[in-house]
Chain A
Amino acid sequence: MNRDIMICGVGGQGTVLASRIIAASAMDEGNPVHSAETIGMAQRGGPVTSHVRIGSGAFSPLIPAGGADLLIAFEPSEAVRNLKYLKKDGFVIVNSVPVKPTSLGSSEGYDGKAEIAFIKSKRDCLTVDSEALCAPFGSSKFFNVAVLGAAAATGKLGLSADTLRAEIIKTVPERFLEKNMAAFEAGMKIGE
């Protein structure tokens, strides 16, 4: 299998954990994997991306423009920013809840709706409302695992839900495990 998956969002949203679980799961299913993440100053509230490249067809850590099969966007405007990486027949999973930039002028009026409409006009798309999805768990920090459930259920990830579940158990701290597993299952329901 050759599959390129891009994950994007804003620093602090937990994209790195999601990409690591996808990468580890793909390896568990016997694939060679390469990946790359944004680390450093940009992590402090800046746009972040993770590139996960599954299969032997990847020569470099970064996905070329027009090369990704799946874009998992943790934020609507970040989905727009990174849409160029997606194949013409690629699929988008996007969180509809915006992260407003901190400067006063630009935080007003930005609600993510125009971004979602634009994404929908371009590609097949599943929108996920992270606030509604994560409300039972008390924090949108569980969105990174919940969205993996949604992605697994759509079939676009190319990985079995059980493999992902096993990796989540290995990866997340034990005291958060129960809520993470519940978040994954809640995501599965949305993706079905």
Chain B
Amino acid sequence: MSKKYVMGNGAIALGALSAGVNLVAGYPGTPSSEIIETVAKYPHDGTYVEWSVNEKAAMEVASAAAYCGARAMVTMKQVGLNVASDPLMSLAYVGVKGGMVVVSADDPGPISSQTEQDTRRFAEFARIPVFDPSSPEEAFEMTREAFAYSEKYKTPVILRPTTRVDHAYASVDCPDSFTAGEYEGFVKDSKKWVIFPRLSYMNHAAIEKRNVEIGADFSACRFNSVSGSSKKAVVATGVSFAYASEFLKAYPDVRLIKVGTPYPLPESFLLEALAGVDEALCFEELSPYIEESLLKLIGKHKLGITVRGKLTGDVPPSGENDADSAKRIISRFLGLETDHAAEDMSGAPEPPARPPVLCAGCPHRASFYAVKRAMKGKKAYFCGDIGCYTLGNAMPLDMVDTCLCMGAGITMAQGFNHMDGEAVAISFTGDSTFFASGITGVVNAVYNAADMIVCILDNSTTAMTGHQPHPGTGRNLMSSPVEKISIEKILLAVGVKKVVTVDPLDLSAAIAAVSECALIKGVKAVIFKSPCVAIVRPNKKCAVNSEKCIGCLRCVRELGCPALSVKDGRAVIDSNLCTGCGLCARVCPADAIGGDPS
């Protein structure tokens, strides 16, 4: 045993490993990605771990392990749960034999996500239990406990951390190496493992009965707690409990109720915790889940308690909570005067906006720029997708007209083609996104005789989430090398008319490839292939020859590279950021940019 300082995601991984997990699968997505990376990193014996192509695949792979009586964990971000919801909804009816923990990381803010959805609602929708950790330490404990509950009640169990728990660091005590547990293996029983309407009907009734029992069990669970005894109570969940505790440490008499197991609701615990309370403030993020649950409970038991929270406007309906909002909202609720005077910022220079941008030297910039040049003067729709390259929307590139969800770039470009055949329909899809959910879109477009250009931005990694391998990289988490799956061969095999692979940094060839594809009817594809600069770390530099620079600033104006800026009316390159990609040199009309002689 030793103390390990880990991220919340690391604590979840160590919790699973120390519970003897046999199989871990998932798809990268902020804020969940480090769970699988940690599992893969720590010495373990007998645990199978994989990056799956998407969350649905991960859920199904893990389900089979749980049918075998093995302990399985599947990890994803909240929008990944949407992808995996098909198997999960059915799995909830079928149930499991070995413990199965589904980690779905929510992202209040949202900081790095498309939605502010609330996995607690998903758990209730699927009728399966959910744990809601308030700290990395608790995430470790809850992961272990979730396996036990899963096996006790033969159901998948959700662990729902949020970004601030996933990415917070704390110390956990655990062994230095891990061994996966023994499991029985799959026992055939088609009445149990094959979902049919009759089975679903019977299991639905059993699940509703069981959930009442789990609610009672949760009422004695150590993750639900109460301190203080005031008539006004603060009810908090997840990391909001940590913020509330931080503020209320100066007011120990104030009743603070923590709900760590939101569904099935621990009713008897809450009834006891709320005894003598006349007003309760629900301090939570995302949806008013506990607030609505309390209102139901209070209605059911005809209690005279006023409930405040998001529904009453006391807590903001969107965005994340923090230590300051906890102080402001809770002190207003309690009628406390707080001493804190806000920082006087009068006279402060306004800090510049810093929207996230593609890195200096990012090959995606060159790909977008080539398509932009090839489509100059033409009517075109540019359908983006999920990944670093969503940042191609920023000025001056302005090359992402739509972004909806994983894989939607291809299918939406197809839709635009059917609605406006005059325009060139173009999609941008990253390599990992292509394997996750792009292939079916290409098949759909070919089958339905669309006229469009599929651009694959192949940087040989899953960059945005921290450079995870995928089927095109030639390695997985268990072995290396493995067979590389060729995007080009897949595209040709499904009937794409023309597939051109080009280095986006070879600007004229890249422009020519796009122009050529635009002349051909049907579904065409350009694979822009150049590795992510954050991985290859090229050590070349470009520099501006200030004698030759005519100050037209075309490089700065058209590329938006963070290494380029303006000094005394001339372009300058920050050599700390430059990777020597040379795109600016190709754009310069005065031939003023070249390799740095030093």
Is A39 interfacial (CB-CB < 8 Å)?
yes
Q: How large is the interface on B (under 10, 10 to 19, 20 to 34, 35 or more residues)?
A: 35 or more
Q: Which residues of B contact A110 (CB under 8 A)?
A: 352
Tell me, yes or no, whether B75 is within 8 Å of chain A by CB: no
- Contacts of B119-175 to chain A: CB distance below 8 A: 135, 164-165, 167-171
Q: In whole angstroms, what is the CA distance A139 to B358 when docked?
A: 21
Q: Is A29 an interface residue (CB 8 A)?
A: no
- Contact (Cβ within 8 A) A62 B5: no
10 residue pairs, one from A and one from B, having the closest CB atoms: A40-B112, A61-B168, A64-B323, A60-B242, A40-B30, A84-B343, A59-B246, A44-B356, A81-B351, A77-B351
Contact among B239, B245, B357 for A45, CB-based, below 8 A? B357
Known: A27-B171, A33-B169, A59-B245. A45 touches B340 (CB 8 A): no
Q: Mark A72-108, 1 if CB is under 8 A from B, else 0.
A: 0000011011011000000000000000111110111
Cα A177 to Cα B240 in complex, Å, equals 40
A66 at the interface (CB under 8 A from B): yes
Distance between B105 CB and nearest chain A CB, rounded to angstroms:
11
In the complex the two chains form, is A44's CB within 8 Å of B111's CB?
no
Number of A interface residues at 8 Å Cβ cutoff, please give it: 55
**Contacts of B560 on A, CB cut-off 8 Å?**
102-103
Residues of A within 8 A of B355 (CB): 45-46
Q: Which of A36, A44, A66 is the one whose CB lies under 8 Å from B168?
A: A36
Do residues B31 and A40 form an inter-chain contact, with CB atoms below 8 A?
Answer: yes
Known: A44-B357, A61-B164, A65-B324. 13 other contacts (CB 8 A): A23-B169, A27-B171, A33-B171, A36-B168, A42-B112, A57-B249, A62-B164, A65-B323, A80-B349, A81-B351, A83-B345, A106-B353, A107-B566
Q: Is there contact, CB below 8 Å, between B30 and A39?
A: yes
In the bound complex, residues from chain B placing their C-beta under 8 Å from that of A62 are: 164, 243, 322-323
CA distance A110 to B565 in the complex (A): 11
Residues of A within 8 A of B (CB): 10-12, 23-24, 27, 32-47, 57-67, 77-78, 80-81, 83-84, 100-104, 106-108, 110, 114-115, 118, 121, 139-141
B residues in contact with A12, CB < 8 Å: 359, 577
On whether the beta carbons of B352 and A77 are closer than 8 Å, the reply is: yes
Contact A66 B343 (CB under 8 A): yes
- Give the contacting residue for A101; candidates B343, B345, B354; CB below 8 A: B354
B255 at interface (Cβ–Cβ under 8 A)? Answer: no
Set B31, B242, B247, B348: member contacting A61, Cβ < 8 A? B242
A66 CA to B340 CA in the complex, in Å? Answer: 8
Give complex CA distance A32, B561 in Å: 41
Our pick among B243, B340, B354 for the contact of A60 (Cβ within 8 Å) is B243
The CB with the most chain B CB atoms within 10 A, among A10, A37, A101, A115, is that of: A101
B594 an interface residue at 8 Å Cβ cutoff?
no
For residue B576, CB closer than 8 A to chain A, the reply is yes
Report whether A44 and B388 are in contact in the complex, using a CB–CB cutoff of 8 Å.
yes
Indicate whether A41 sits within 8 Å of B30 (C-beta atoms), given known contacts A35-B168, A107-B566, A108-B566. yes
CB distance from B60 to the nearest CB of A (A): 27
Residue B334 interfacial (CB < 8 Å): no
Decide if B481 is an interface residue (CB 8 Å cutoff): no
Residue of A nearest to B347 (CB): A118
List the B side residues contacting A23 at CB < 8 Å.
5, 169
Chain A residues near B561 (CB, 8 Å)? 102
For A11, the chain B residues whose CB sits under 8 A away are 356
Q: Is residue B317 within 8 Å, beta carbon to beta carbon, of the partner chain? A: no
Known pairs A66-B343, A80-B348, A84-B343; A10 contacts B112 (CB<8 A) = no
A118 touches B349 (CB 8 A): yes
A120 to B357, CA, bound (A): 31
A77 and B164 contact, CB distance less than 8 A: no
Cβ contacts under 8 Å, A77 to chain B: 349, 351-352
- Picked from B5, B111, B576, the residue with its CB within 8 Å of the CB of A40 is B111
A100 to B561: give the CA distance in the assembly, Å. Answer: 11
Is B192's CB within 8 Å of the partner chain A?
Answer: no
Instruction: Determine if B395 and A103 form an interchain contact, defined as CB atoms under 8 angstroms apart.
Output: yes
Residues of chain A with a CB closer than 8 A to B352's CB = 77, 100-101, 106, 110
User: Please, which residue of chain B has its CB at the minimum distance from the CB of A110?
Assistant: B352
Instruction: Report how far A59 CA is from B247 CA in the complex, Å.
Output: 9
Complex Cα distance, B356 from A38, in Å, reads: 12
Q: Which chain B residues border A139 with CB–CB below 8 Å?
A: 576
Inter-chain CA distance A107–B322, complex, in Å, is 31
Interface set, chain B 550-591, CB cutoff 8 A to A: 553, 556-557, 560-562, 564-566, 576-577
Q: Is the CB of A45 within 8 A of B351?
A: no
B464 interface residue per 8 A CB criterion = yes
Q: With A and B bound together, what is the CA distance between A40 and B465 in angstroms?
A: 7
A46 touches B349 (CB 8 A): no
B205 within 8 A of A: no
B313-346, CB under 8 A of A: which get 1 and which 0? 0000000001110010000000000001011010
| B578 CB to nearest A CB, Å | 11
Which residues on B sit within 8 Å (CB–CB) of A106? Answer: 352-353
B327 and A64 contact, CB distance less than 8 A: yes
Report yes or no: A58 in contact with B351, Cβ–Cβ below 8 A: no
* B391 CB–A CB distance under 8 Å: yes
Q: A48's closest neighbor in chain B, by CB?
A: B354
Residues of chain A lying within 8 A (CB to CB) of residue B3: 27
Set of chain B residues within 8 Å of A66, measured between Cβ atoms: 340, 343
Shortest distance between the CB of A73 and any CB in chain B (Å): 11
Q: What separation, in Å, do the CA atoms of A11 and B359 have in the docked complex?
A: 10
Please determine whether A41 and B323 come into contact, CB atoms closer than 8 angstroms: no
Contact between B164 and A36, CB atoms less than 8 A apart: yes
- Contacting B239 at CB < 8 Å: which of A35, A60, A84, A103? A60
Q: Mark B452-480, 1 if CB is under 8 A from A, else 0.
A: 00000000000011000000000000000
In the bound assembly, the distance between CA atoms of A101 and B353 in angstroms comes to: 7
**Contact B170–A34 (Cβ < 8 Å):** yes
